[in-house]
Every structure is written in structure tokens, then in C-alpha cells.
Amino acid sequence: MMRCTVLASGRGSDFQAICDAVAAGTCPVELVRLITDNPSALAIGRAHRAGVPVTIIDRTSFPDRAAYEAALREAMEVSGAELFVLAGYMRLLSPETVRAFPDRMINIHPALLPAFPGLRAPAQAVEHGVRFSGCTVHFVTEEMDAGPVILQACVPVREDDDAESLAARILVEEHRILPEAIRLYAEGRLERVGRRVRVLSPATD
């Protein structure tokens, strides 16, 4: 079974969705570690309840970003994971870290990329008056939120939406498509062709 490490910074609801899918047998990976940069992250408690080991790499305990990222890369390597999932990990990875794990990192973002990359994506969607938003699972590349798209899900933006209400509906879709993307990766059904990702049909005996 493919070994998977999750990186998260906050409440960990996407991480919980992965844990639930693994427990239900619909996401065929072994969760070998949670790595967080935040000693107060609620994701830590979720990991303990799911029996997933936790590594805390507190950014404030390092003199600079380079030292922090070196420690992060070491923790990722030591975890022995074949796939790394950024599930609400709120730090931009350095090019050195991205290059260390080519095509082995995926990220969930609360917008229909390439629209609204970066922070405050649901708020950006509301401010721009778009009719639809959603979420995207994509491969991680050196450019922020710009990697090849694996899966997307769409939600309508309602007239009375604010950033919080839209984000809550997007989150429901995040919890659905992130475990699905992990499953496709673990089953070897994702093929990168340039900037496009093909989802291959299941293997047949």
C-alpha cells in the first residue's frame, strides 16, 4: 500500500477527510505521518485520534526559511512517504523542496485555478462577482498554485454569499475530491502530459 504523508497548518478538516476515507477503505494509502509547522494546529489532535504519528517543525524555532525548509525536507524524507499531500499547509514551499520530490506532492486550493491563486480565494471570488467558484487538487510546482490540475469541483456563488459562507460550501467539495485524487494517484491512474493530467481507466485483469 502506498505510504502517504500529509502537511497541514490549521484545523485539519481536509486531513480528517483523508483519515475518514482511509478508515472507510475508499482511499488505499497508509497514512504514515502528519507534518505541521504549527504547534497549536487542531490537525495534531485529529492525527493522534487516527493513530497517525506527528512531526512538528515550528518555523519560529529556526533562524531563517532555508533552515526551516532543510528540516522540513529531512522530515519528509524520513517519513518514507511516496506521496505528500498539502492539506491546508499555509507555507509556500521553496523550489529546493519542490524539486526534492518531483511529481510526488499534491495540494488542495479553494478556487477553480488558475482563477484566484494564493490567500483569501473565496473572498476574491465574492469580491469579483463570479457566478461559480470551487476547489482544485493539483500537482505542486515551484510556482504557487500553478501546477497541473488533477481534479476540480464547482459550486455556485449565491447572491447573499460572503467569504465565510462560500468557503464552507467549497470545503464540502474539498473533502470529497482530495481523497479521490489521492486514490487515483495511489492506483497509478494519473498521467502528466505537459500541463495536462490524464485520468486513466482502472486496470483490468
C-alpha dist (Å) from residue 179 to 14, 125, 143, 151, 175: 9, 24, 24, 11, 7
Q: Are 115 and 130 in contact (CB under 8 A)?
A: yes
Peptide bond connecting 114 to the previous residue in cis, omega within 30 degrees of 0? yes
Residue 38, in any domain of the structure: yes
Structural domain that includes position 47: 2-199
Task: Count the Cβ atoms, other than its own, within 10 Å of residue 164.
Answer: 10
Residue 27 burial (CB count, 10 A): 22
CA 33, 87, 195 angle in degrees (round to 5)?
115
128 is catalytic: no
For the chain, what is the domain count? 1
Question: Residue 205 above 60 pLDDT?
Answer: no
Query: How confident is the model at residue 203, as a pLDDT?
Result: 74
The overall average pLDDT reported for the chain is 97
Determine the pLDDT at residue 30. Answer: 98
Asked if residue 205 belongs to a domain, the reply is no
Look at residue 204 and tell me whether its pLDDT is greater than 90.
no
pTM of the model: 0.96
Catalytic residue among 48, 109, 138, 175: 109
pLDDT tens track for 158-202: 999 999 999 999 999 999 999 999 999 999 999 999 899 999 998
Query: Quick one: pLDDT band at residue 2, thresholds 50, 70, 90?
Result: very high
**30 within some domain:** yes
CATH number, residue 109: 3.40.50.170
Q: What residues contact 185, with CB distance under 8 A and at least 6 apart?
A: 2, 83, 106, 150
Q: DSSP letters of 32-87? A: EEEEES-TT-THHHHHHHHT--EEE--GGGSSSHHHHHHHHHHHHHHHT-SEEEES
> Would you give the distance in Å from CA 38 to the centre of its chain?
16
Using the structure block, give the residue that is written with the C-alpha cell 505521518. 33
pLDDT of residue 31: 98
Asked if the structure places residue 204 within a domain, the reply is: no
